[in-house]
Amino acid sequence: MLINSPPPVPVNLDEEMRRSYLDYAMSVIVGRALPDIRDGLKPVHRRILFAMKEMGNDYNKPYKKSARIVGDVIGKYHPHGDSAVYDAMVRLAQPFAMRYTMVEGQGNFGSVDGDSPAAMRYTEVRLDKLAHTLLEDLDKETVDFGDNYDGSLQEPKVLPAAFPHLLVNGSEGIAVGMATKIPPHNLTEVLGATIALIDDPEIDIAGLMKYVPAPDFPTGAFIYGRSGAKQAYETGRGSITMRAKIDIETDKKGTRQSIIISEIPYQLNKARLIEHMAELVKEKKLLGISELRDESDRDGMRIVLDLKRDAVGEIIINQLFKMTPLQSNFGIIMLAVDHGRPRLVNLKEALQAFIDHRREVITRRTIYELRKAEERAHLLEGLAVALQNIDEVIAIIKAAPSPAEARINLMEVEWRFNWEGEARTQKFTQPQAQAILEMRLHRLTGMEQEKLVNEYRELLNLINRLKEILASESELMGVIRAELVKVNEDFGDKRRTQIVDETAELTLEDLIAEEDMVVTMSLSGYIKRQPVTHYRSQRRGGKGRTAVNPKEGDVVERLFIASTHDTVMFFTNRGRVFWSKVYEIPQSGPTARGTALVNLHPLQEGERITATMPVRHFVEDRYVLMATRSGIVKKTDLMAYSNVRNGGVQAIKLGEGDSVIGVAITDGAREVLLTTSQGLSIRFPEEQARPMGRVSQGVRGIKLEKGDEVRSMDILAADCSILTVTTQGFGKRSKADDYRQQNRGGKGLITIKTTKRNGYVVGCLQVLADDEVMIITAGGTMIRIRMKDLRVIGRNTQGVTLFNIDEGDDVVAVVRVVERPEDDDDEGDDGVPPVAPGELPLDA
């Protein structure tokens, strides 16, 4: 133990920890992290502005080195690290961080890309003109001053603040156990609301929101909806949705589109945003973008995304909003220090706190100005009396042996004078006598005497005016109101962030024109769509035209036609089902491979699409009828598949090596036609397959011979004929009546002879005389044939040449073409979209 050391004092560890942590917490809350509700400033910002004012670093004076300001702040008022002070000062000068900058910077002060500012030895600063309104009248005893950290200097505890800075520039901070996040607002709007509250103290939040509808961010962009701001203004907490300003431009040729991003949400790092978008494009999560570049310059922001020819700009924009921070939320927490205590306030309370602060500032300023005016008027009154008795005054001064005796002699005389026609007498006070002795001789000229009298008269009027202000609450509030109007006239501007009223949002379908598309899929898992109109009709036996140019070793596996507004259900070899809108499938040119299905759906290793089905709407009293390669059929309620999930759902329980080959929508009372690769077909009533659950296995539809498998399933309609197509391009059209009805589970009848010339059956579907079909080969060639060019022949025949295919090529798919009437894109004569034979109008 040290000699003469004080004895140890025992303390309770728990109590000491509580007390110390509480002291630390309150220090952070009040002295560092949270703004004062009156001037809206944290201590570090207040000290920076005060130090710059004390240094004479005004807006109309030369810039001073930032290092000099930082040194003054640290040495006199804020004993913390220089980087902390410099960072705080830099933010006050950043136009993308502050709605209204408080510091005018010269040099590199960072950028919206997240670039760091230059070192403080390179940059220069001075006060912004608007900042002077926060510091105005600081020398008129308007606010309390306190000791700095070492007691050597005085610093203001709050600034006079001529406008509600807390709302205008906002504030963010994390304290101990609490945080604040107040967004910036438009100065004109906030001042308008403040004036409205002065005029009508009973105005409610809804009335104030007519002036302040929502925050106004320095980076512009959009705010979607008013509900989040309304909640924040009423309760002090809320969340608003911000969206970037995005436009679509078309090149001069009118062939390509570009997405232009000109404004981004507040506090979003532009460089990181572009990197994120580039990663999404690289990972093929964001499709349809050919080039991404930043064309931003001093004139403004401009991020350009060039689109591929087949990309739809509206879809890409929607994906950008979903996948990137171009749409983000701003959580509002209006927490501020009020009389030394943190408090969550609403809009009216924040404005009222500012008004109360200004009432105190104006009152103290008026008292100060009244005292100074009365002191000056008192001296002027003595000078005026002396001028009216100048000869006697000079004589007394000349006769006195010293200035002190002259002052005493002047104070002993009862002087007579005339003011505004009224005769008075008075003695000089000591300050008046001293002022007379210090008066210069040039004040005895006639002009100077008149100036002195006029100044005295004006001071008397000023004193009366100041007393009126102090005596009347309405006069005092009138002064506050007038000064707010003056600030608005000098610094008010227009709103940057536009507000989009909350409405029923347009879906992508509202933006996409309805058009029939040919969707092709390759064996290796590539998919694309092309307009049906791309393929003109040819006579049977033609050479067709190129529909796809698959990569080496790949072949076209299936083809179907659907509207851009349809939902496509993709069934896999593992019995799962996925959903996609047709417009979500990328459109590609005739020779393009398309897009890998794994980029659209999370297919597992070894999983592939084996059947597809377009659906217009998911409605009640409809069924999904599916058939598998092994001859199993299953019927399930359509609504069981209406819950779209990104990861897909189980659609059917499959046996080993089995897969779904055909899917259709029925009403539960139709006839089913199954056709096998060896040319057998069975026709049976749908009622023989009872409805089952989504994950069930199904029942036998046809009994297969060894080596045979089901190739197609169709739902028959009245007065139709059956078209059968083989791998070698041969086929035939037969009457549906030639296929007699049998019981489910039989072996079926011969629909076409599968010879060496014909090959195996590719597909079997019902058609009408006015229909057209499209046939595609593994090599990517496609032909469109009119059924009226194909005569009806018997069921048990070899058929005729439909497609003159190249040697080594095979037909892989056949599909019926059903186009919508050109004069009515949405409805047929019966008020529902037109459908192909055997398909049900799901809008009925």
- pLDDT > 90: what percent of the chain? 42
Instruction: Give the per-residue pLDDT at 538.
Output: 60
Report pLDDT for 147.
94
Contacts of residue 275, Cβ cutoff 8 Å, sequence gap at least 6:
none
pLDDT given at position 824: 41
pLDDT score recorded for residue 544: 54
Q: How far is CA 298 from the centre of its chain?
A: 24
Per-residue tokens: 457: 């008269």
Nearest-angstrom CA–CA distance, 677 and 762: 7
The pLDDT of residue 828 is above 70: no
Partnered with residue 628 across adjacent β-strands are 660
The rounded distance, in Å, linking the Cα atoms of 709 and 715 is 19
Cα–chain-centroid distance for residue 760?
A: 56
The predicted pLDDT at position 124 comes to 97
Class of domain 360-491: mainly alpha
Contact between 571 and 611 under an 8 Å Cβ cutoff? The reply is yes
Work out the pLDDT band at 838, boundaries 50, 70, 90: very low
CA gap 345, 232 in Å, rounded: 9
Q: What pLDDT sits at residue 357?
A: 96
Q: Give the strand order in the sheet containing 772-777.
A: 545-546, 781-786, 772-777, 811-817
**Rounded Cα distance, 263 and 302, in Å:** 8
Residue 687 DSSP code? G
Q: What is the dihedral of CA 84, 88, 89, 90, to 10 degrees?
A: 100
Residue found under tokens 């003469």: 4
**pLDDT band at residue 676 under the 50/70/90 scheme:** very high
Nearest alpha-carbon partner for 720 in 675, 767, 771: 767
Res. 470: pLDDT tops 80:
yes
Across 210-237, average pLDDT: 93
Contact 99, 109 (CB under 8 A): no
State the burial class of residue 606 (Cβ atoms within 10 Å of its Cβ: 0-12, 13-18, 19+): exposed
Higher per-residue pLDDT: 525 or 104: 104
Query: Quick one: which of 29, 327, 352, 321 has its CA closest to 200?
Result: 352
Contact 682, 674 (CB under 8 A): yes
| Whether residue 525 has pLDDT greater than 90 | no
Average pLDDT over residues 498-522: 72
pLDDT tens readout for residues 680-719: 999 999 888 888 888 888 899 999 888 899 988 888 887 7
Question: What was the pLDDT predicted at 823?
Answer: 40
pLDDT of 449 strictly over 90: no
From CA 629, how far away is CA 712, in angstroms rounded? 9
Ranking 52-56, 505-509, 585-589, 765-769 by mean pLDDT, the lowest is 505-509
Residue type, 747: K
Tokens read off for 10? 């025992």
Closest CA to 339 of 662, 36, 734, 640: 36
| DSSP β-bridge partners for residue 626 | 634, 663
For residue 498, list its beta bridge partners: 222
Local structure of 771: helix, strand or coil: coil
Contact predicate 299/339, CB 8 Å: no
pLDDT digits (tens, 9 = 90+) for 710-753: 988 888 887 788 899 998 888 888 888 888 889 998 888 888 88
Contact between 236 and 333 under an 8 Å Cβ cutoff? The reply is yes
Mean pLDDT of 574-588: 83
Question: Which pLDDT score, from 0 to 100, does residue 684 have?
Answer: 92
Mean pLDDT of 86-110: 96
Identify the pLDDT of residue 143.
Answer: 96
Task: Give the pLDDT mean for 1-18.
Answer: 76
- Cβ–Cβ < 8 Å for 89, 98: no
The reported pLDDT for the residue numbered 839 is 43
Distance of alpha carbon 413 from alpha carbon 391, whole angstroms? 14
pLDDT single digits (tens) 318-367:
889 889 999 999 999 999 999 889 999 999 999 999 999 999 999 999 99
- Tally of helices (H runs) and strands (E runs) in the chain: 18, 43
The structural domains of the chain, with segments of one domain joined by +, span: 245-325, 360-491, 508-817
Q: What is the pLDDT of residue 801?
A: 86
User: 3-class SS at 800?
Assistant: strand
How is residue 612 written in tokens?
Answer: 């597809």
pLDDT over 70 at 628, yes or no: yes
Give 556's pLDDT tier (boundaries 50, 70, 90). low
Average pLDDT across the chain, whole number: 85
Beta strands 576-581 and 567-572 are antiparallel
Strands of 92-175, DSSP E: 103-106, 124-127, 145-147, 154-156, 171-174
- Would you state the pLDDT for residue 85? 95
The domains spanning 245-325 and 508-817 adopt the same CATH topology: no
Q: Which of 503-512, 530-539, 725-734 has the highest mean pLDDT?
A: 725-734
Q: In angstroms, what CA-CA distances link 635 with 479, 624, 641, 689, 844?
A: 81, 6, 12, 7, 21
The pLDDT tens digits for 148-198 are: 999 999 999 999 999 999 999 999 988 888 899 999 999 999 999 999 999
How far apart, in whole angstroms, are the C-alpha atoms of residue 48 and residue 409?
53
Consecutive H or E run containing 530: strand 526-531
- Report pLDDT for 508: 60
Structure tokens at 37: 């509700």
CATH class of 508-817: mainly beta
| Among the listed residues 269, 319, 342, the one whose alpha carbon sits nearest the alpha carbon of residue 113 | 269
3-state secondary structure of 90: helix
Amino acid (one-letter) located at 207: G
Sort strands 154-156 and 145-147 into parallel, antiparallel or unpaired: antiparallel
Q: Are 289 and 283 in contact (CB under 8 A)?
A: no
Which pLDDT band holds residue 231 (cuts at 50, 70, 90)? very high
Residue corresponding to tokens 């499938």: 585
Per-residue pLDDT for 126 more than 90?
yes
Catalytically active residues are 122
Match 């509808």 to its residue by tokens: 213
Tens of pLDDT, residue by residue over 292-314, are: 999 998 888 999 999 987 777 88
Please tell me the distance from the alpha carbon of residue 177 to that of residue 165, in angstroms, as a whole number.
25
Token pair in block for residue 732? 């035939």
Residue 827: pLDDT over 50? no
Q: How far apart are CA 500 and CA 506, in angstroms?
A: 13
Selection from 712, 762, 767 nearest residue 736 by Cα:
767
The number of angstroms, rounded, from the C-alpha of 774 to the middle of its chain's C-alpha atoms is 45
**CA angle centred on 544, ends 538 and 550, rounded to 5°:** 150
What confidence score (pLDDT) does residue 822 get?
Answer: 44
HEC string of 252-317? CCCCCEEEEEEECCCCCCHHHHHHHHHHHHHCCCCCCEEEEEECCECCECCEEEEECCCCCHHHHH
Q: Is 267 left (phi over 0), alpha (psi -120 to 50) or beta?
A: left
pLDDT tops 60 at residue 15: yes
Q: What is the CATH number of domain 245-325?
A: 3.30.1360.40
Chain center to CA of 412: 80
Q: Which residues have CB under 8 Å from 831's CB, separation 6+?
A: 843
Cβ contacts of 675 within 8 Å, gap of 6 or more:
681, 710, 711, 712, 713, 714, 724, 751, 761, 763, 764
Residue 648's alpha-carbon distances to 163, 525, 769, in angstroms, are 57, 17, 39
With a cut of 70, say whether residue 834 has pLDDT above it.
Answer: no
Model confidence at 2: pLDDT above 70: no
Residue 833 predicted with pLDDT over 80: no
Pairing of strands 289-294, 303-307: antiparallel
How many other C-beta atoms can be found within 10 angstroms of the C-beta atom of residue 429?
Answer: 14
Q: Which residues of 739-754 are buried (b: 16+ CB within 10 A; e: fewer)?
A: beebebeeebbebbbb
Residue listed under structure tokens 């404005």: 351
Map tokens 């809804």 to a residue: 206
CA-based nearest residue to 689, from 680, 702, 675: 702
Higher pLDDT, 507 or 455: 455
Helix (H, G, I), strand (E, B) or coil at 174: strand
